[in-house]
Structure 1
């Protein structure tokens, strides 16, 4: 198998180099434009792979670089478009990546691993910096340290804030909540990795899926990587 990418903010000098970016072609702009983030998990919707390209190893979004081609897209078989359950996909590159100090795989968690608010966890991406405020040139990578929140507290927060929209607070076991008070993903950060530092390793615990108003008042919701481990290992 070739490399597989796992898909679905205050600025700091980013140490998280496993993040990648997915682009699609914009005919109006006549260029490949950013649509979401991703992460490299192996160093070696039936969408058309030819419609997408991948950028890796860069802090600046549109720095001149040869974009990588994709040979296959694998969508989680239990993905639900309405509930956003299992909101993850894998992309297989056509050629082997050369790892370096700026291009390296992130570690996957173990089934037995536990993550909570005491863990040091970070999110990175090139999405909006505030609600309706897009990232400005030179499009530098942002990252933010955000706390994981347990699902029960997350559900209570959504029910309190949005009592008239019960369907919007359906948070399942394959989801994970993190971030609040403006520290979390925004438009364009979907698919980006939520990683925690444990035992001197960056471990990916979540994939940015959805949220409300760039996490200003409520935690954002991530696909829980541990819930998809069997499916991921089936393909790698």
Structure 2
């Protein structure tokens, strides 16, 4: 699917904290109200929200995005994924200042395949009970530096807010058929 082929416009943006527009704030999350319904197909579907019983740490994570794979690269025309991420919050706590990385609000994941510019806002996912759940949202990284893991907004921290702002019953979780997978992200190592 070519990402230029279809455009969907938002009519409303809900920010977690309205002060985010004017000042630095750790709450890097927003919800969009779309102008028209999304048409689901083999490439576009819903994703499950975790519940509060989900663990805080994960062994196998998946990231997806349209971003560049190096500072000299251009944006991808196809969605790319990497499924070899391991959570590394302790490492991030050591390399990022405490004012930047708060384990309650953020999580980070390290991989030989990393995220880069253009991947912000993309999902960090895990498989559980036959479905795919979004557990993080791409927030920031250190200029595609592979020695610094990317940081993701932790979805479980915002579950009450998300549920209060979305349509009741929207938490139904589809089973993952596994029939369509985006191509693996091909990145340079090192």
TM range (shorter): 0.7 to 0.9
- Cα distance in 2 for partners of 1:83, 1:142 equals 30
- Cα distance in 1 for partners of 2:71, 2:32 equals 29
Shift of 1:168: 6.7
Secondary structure of the corresponding residue to residue 40 of structure 2: coil
TM-score calculated relative to the size of structure 2: 0.76
Partner of 1:92: 33
- Cα distance in 2 for partners of 1:125, 1:107 equals 18
Partner of 1:105: 46
Partner of 1:68: 8
Are the counterparts in 2 of residues 76 and 89 from structure 1 also a CA contact under 8 Å? yes
Partner of 1:230: 160
- Cα distance in 1 for partners of 2:26, 2:33 equals 22
Shift of 1:225: 0.3
Partner of 1:201: 131
Q: Per residue, is there more strand in 1 or in 2?
A: 1
For residues 39-93 of structure 1, the C-alpha deviation after alignment (integer angstroms, 9 at most, x for no partner) is: xxxxxxxxxxxxxxxxxxx3x232x33x222211101127757655120101111
Root-mean-square deviation (Å): 2.3
Shift of the 117–97 alpha-carbon distance from structure 1 to 2, 3 Å rule, reads closer
Are the counterparts in 1 of residues 109 and 151 from structure 2 also a CA contact under 8 Å? yes
Are the counterparts in 2 of residues 180 and 215 from structure 1 also a CA contact under 8 Å? no
Residue 129 of structure 1, aligned match among 49, 55, 69: 69
Are the counterparts in 1 of residues 89 and 109 from structure 2 also a CA contact under 8 Å? no
For residues 148-201 of structure 1, the C-alpha deviation after alignment (integer angstroms, 9 at most, x for no partner) is: 424223212x16xxxxxx4675334110111244x2210011000111111110
Are the counterparts in 2 of residues 72 and 92 from structure 1 also a CA contact under 8 Å? yes
Shift of the 217–146 alpha-carbon distance from structure 1 to 2, 3 Å rule, reads same
Secondary structure of the corresponding residue to residue 144 of structure 2: helix
Shift of the 80–151 alpha-carbon distance from structure 1 to 2, 3 Å rule, reads farther
Residue 177 of structure 1, aligned match among 104, 108, 113: 108
The alignment status of 1:187 with 2:117, answered yes or no, reads yes
Unaligned residue ranges in structure 1 (runs of 5+):
1-57, 160-165
Unaligned residue ranges in structure 2 (runs of 5+):
167-190
TM-score calculated relative to the size of structure 1: 0.62
